[in-house]
Structure 1
Amino acid sequence: EESYVPIHYIFTSIISTEFMIGILGNGFIILVNFIDWVKIRKIFLVDQILTALAISRICLILVCLSTVYHPFLLMKEIEVRIIIFSWIFANHFSLWFATILAIFYLLKIASFSRSIFLYLKWRVKKVILMLLLGNLIILILNLIQINIYIEDWICGNERNTTWNSRMSDFATFSDLVTFNMTMFSIPPFTVALIAFLLLIFSLWQHLQNMQHNFKGPRDPRTSAHITALKIMISFLLLYAIYFLSLFILWLLKMQNKLVHILILNFGFIYPSSHSFILIWGNSKLRKPFILVLKQLRCGLKDEKLTIL
C-alpha cells in the first residue's frame, strides 16, 4: 500500500502533464487560425475543421481533468449528469472532426475517375455538412442510452443505503458508460480507416502514372498524398490506442485502480499529442510554431547567461 501511493501520484502527474500539453497544442491551433481570420476576414474550410477539432479536444481534456481530481463518487447527481454529457459531447466531436478531416484530405487530394467520387469532390462542403448532420443522429442515440444508464444508477443509489452497494452500482454504471463510448467510437474509426485505404490506393495509382509520364520525384501531388497519409496514420494509430484503452478499461471493470490510471495515461496520448502532428503537417501552423520554439530557445539561452 505504501508503494502504491507514490506510483499513483506519478501516473496522475503524467496525466496532468499530458493534459497541459494537449491544451497548449490545441490552443495554438485555435490562436493561429483566429489571428489569421482577424487579418483576412476569411477562414478556409480546412482551418474551420482544425479549429473545431482543437476546441472539442480542449473541452475533452478539461472534462477528463475534472474527473481525475474530482471523482464521480464525490459529485452530486446534477454534476455527474453535466460531466458525463459534456464528456460524451466532447469525445464524440473530437473523434468525428478528426474523421471529417480525413475525408477532407481524401476528397481534396485523391484522384479517382469514378463519377460518384467526382460528384463528392466538387461538393466537399456539402459532404462535410451531411457528415455533421449524420453524426448528430449518432450523438442523440448515444445521449439517450447514457441518460438511461444515469437514471438507473440514480435509482440504485436511492434504493441502496450502504457504501458497498453504492460502490457496486457505480462500478456497473462506469462499465456501461465505458462500453457505450467504446461502441460509439467504432463508426468514426471505420470511416477514417476507409478514407485512409482509399488515399493509399490513390497514391499508388498516382505513382504508377508518374512512372509512365516520367515525372520527377518532387511532384506536388505526391507530396500532398504523403503528408495527408502521415497525418492519417498518426490519427489512426493514436485513435487505436485510445479505443483499446477504453476497451481494456471495460474488460478490467475497475478491478485495479493503479492499472486503471496506467491505461488512462496511454489513452490520453491521443487528444494530447495529435495536435502537434497536425501542426507539423500544416505549413500555415508549422511556420509560427517553429518561430515560437526558436524564441523560447533564445529566451532560455538568455536566462542561462544571466544566471552565469
Structure 2
Amino acid sequence: MFTELGSMYLVLSVVELVVGMLGNMFIGVVNCLEWVKDRKVSLADSILTCLAVSRISYLLVVLFDSFITILSPHFGFYKAANSITKLWNVTNHFTTWFATSLSILYFLKVAHFSHPLFLWLKWRTNRVVFGVLVFSLFLLTSDMLLLGSITDSIVFMYATGKNNLTLYLDESKILDVKFLIFHYLASLIPFVLSLASLFLLFLSLVRHTRNLELGSVGSGDASTKAHKKAMKMVLSFLFLFIIHFSFTQVAPWLFLLFHKSKLIIFFMLTLNVFPSGHPFILILGNGKLRQTALQVLCYLKCHLKRANPLAFY
C-alpha cells in the first residue's frame, strides 16, 4: 500500500542509499584504476575495495527490500522474505568483517606500543588480517545454517499475526532462542575486535600527539595537526560502528515485538547510516582518495562554470 508514510520512507531511503553508493563506488573505482595503472595493490587498498563492493551489494539489497516492503508488502514478506534476509545477512557479514579487518590493519600499521604481543602481531600483520577474514568465513557458514529457522519463525509470526512474543515462544516453540544467541555472539566478535583496535589506536594517537606537542613550540605544526585529524577520523568511525552494531542487534526483536507498527520501517534508515556515511570518512582520511576527490570536485566545478557562467556570479 503506497501511503504518504511509505512515500516519505522511500524518498529518505533512496537519498540515503544513493549517497552511500556514490561514496563506495568512488573508492572502488579509484582503487581499481590505481591497480590497473601500477599493476600492484596494497593490502589496505584491497580491503578498501572489497569493503566498497560489499557495501554496494548491501545497499542494493536494502534498496530492493525497501521497494518490496512499501510497494508490495504481502509479496515482499511471504515470497521474498527468506531470500532477502539471507542476502542481507551475507552482505552485512562481509561489510562488518571487512571493516573490522581494516580497523585491525590500521591499528597494527599506525599504532606504537612496546608490548611483546603487539610487536609479534605487527610483524605478522598480513597473516593476522588474512586469518581474521578466513575465520569470518567459518562464522558465516555456521550462521547461515542457523538463519533459516529464525527467518521462518519471523515470517510465521507475520503470517499468523502473533504479537505476544512470550506467548508465542511458550505455545509454538518454533523460534529457538539458542539460534539467536549464537547469531548475536557471532556478531559480537567483529564488534569487540573493532572496538579494541580502534580504542587502542586512539590511545596511541593521543599519546603520540601529546609527545609532539611537548616536543614542539605549539600545536600548530603539520605533524600534530595530522595526528589530531586522524584521532577525529577514528572517533567518527567508532561512533558510527557502535550505532550500526547496536541497532543491528535490536532489530530482530523490534520486528518481532512491534511488527504491526508502521513506524518500524523508519528504523531501517538508522541501519544504513554506517555503510552510507563511513565511506566519506575513509575518503577524508586517505590522502590518495582525498586528493582524487578534490580533483573531481574541481573538474566538476570548472565544467559547471563553463556550462553556466552566470551561476557563479
Band of TM-score, shorter chain: 0.7 to 0.9
Report what 1:54 is aligned to. 52
* Aligned residues of 2:149 and 2:175 also touching (Cα < 8 A): no
Q: Which residue of 1 aligns with 2:35?
A: 37
* TM-score after normalising by structure 2: 0.81
Worse overlay, 293-302 or 106-115? 293-302
Separation of aligned partners in 1, 2:297 and 2:183: 37
Check if 1:114 corresponds to 2:115.
yes
Q: Which stretches in structure 2 are left out of the alignment for 5+ residues?
A: 169-173
Structure 1 unmatched ranges of 5 or more = 158-163
User: 1:161: which partner in 2?
Assistant: none
* Partner in structure 2 of residue 160 of structure 1: none
Shift of 1:211: 6.3
Give 2:188's aligned residue: 186
How much has 1:179 moved relative to structure 2?
Answer: 8.2
Alpha-carbon offset, residue 47 of structure 1: 0.3
Matched, 1:233 2:231: no
Change (3 A) 1:294 1:254: farther
User: CA deviation digits over 1:104-140, x for unaligned, max 9?
Assistant: 1111111111222111111111000111112222212
Please list the CA deviations of residues 261-295 of structure 1 after superposition, one character each: whole Å capped at 9, or x if unmatched. 22222221111111111111101111111111122
For 2:191 and 2:205, locate their aligned partners in 1 and report how far apart those are by CA, in whole Å: 21
**Whole-Å separation in 2 of the counterparts to 1:178 and 1:61:** 24
1:164-201 superposed Cα distances (whole Å, 9 cap, x missing partner):
744549x9899989987655432212111111221133
Distance 2:8 2:153 in 1: 35
Question: What residue identity is the alignment partner of 2:35?
Answer: W
2:298 is matched with which residue: 288, 294, 299? 294
The answer as to whether partners of 2:237 and 2:278 remain within 8 angstroms in 1 is: yes
Task: Report the residue type matching 1:191 in the other structure.
Answer: L
Partner of 1:251: 254
1:101 aligns with 2:106: no
CA shift in 2, pair 1:145/1:300, >3 Å? same
- Residue 165 to residue 59, structure 1, CA distance change in 2 (3 Å): closer
User: In structure 2, which of residues 13, 16, 33 is the aligned counterpart of residue 15 of structure 1?
Assistant: 13
Identity, % of aligned positions: 33
- For residues 25 and 207 of structure 1, the distance between their equivalents in structure 2, rounded to whole angstroms, comes to 30
RMSD of Structure 2 on Structure 1 (CA):
3.5
Flag the 1:30–1:174 CA change in 2: closer, same or farther, 3 A: farther
2:210 aligned with 1:203: no
Asked if residue 90 in structure 1 is aligned to residue 88 in structure 2, the reply is no
The Cα shift of 1:78 comes to: 7.7
Post-superposition Cα deviations, 1:184-232, rounded to whole Å, max 9, x if no partner, equal 4322121111112211332344345446755875474x56654443333
**Which residue pairs with 2:265 in the alignment?**
261
1:12–1:261: 8 Å Cα contact kept in structure 2?
A: no
Per-residue displacement from partner, 1:229-278 (whole Å, max 9, x unpaired)?
33332222112222333345323633454421222222211111111111
**Contact 1:182/1:246, CA 8 A, preserved across alignment:** no
**For the residues of structure 1 that align with 2:310 and 2:264, how far apart are their CA atoms?**
45
In structure 2, what is the equivalent of residue 66 of structure 1?
64
Corresponding residue of 1:280: 284
Tell me how far 1:87 sits from its aligned partner. Answer: 1.2
Aligned partner of residue 308 in structure 2, secondary structure: helix
User: Would the alpha carbon gap of residues 76 and 15 (structure 1) be closer, same or farther in structure 2, given more than 3 Å must change?
Assistant: closer
Q: In structure 2, do the counterparts of structure 1 residues 40 and 262 end up closer, same or farther at CA, with 3 Å as the change threshold? A: same
Determine helix, strand or coil for the equivalent of 1:185. helix
CA 1:7–1:78: 2 relative to 1, 3 Å: closer
Q: Tell me which amino acid in the other structure corresponds to 2:295.
A: L
Counterpart CA distance in 2 for 1:184 and 1:255 is 25
Quick check: 1:102–1:232 contact (8 Å CA) kept in 2? no
Instruction: Compare 84-93 and 177-186 and name the one that shifted more.
Output: 177-186
Q: Say if 1:105 and 1:216 are closer, same or farther in 2 by CA, change over 3 A.
A: farther
Give me the TM-score of the superposition, normalised by structure 1. Answer: 0.82
Structure 1 contact 18–268 (Cα < 8 Å) conserved: yes
Residue among 11, 23, 26 paired with 2:24: 26
Q: Is the 8 A contact 1:103 1:192 kept in 2?
A: yes
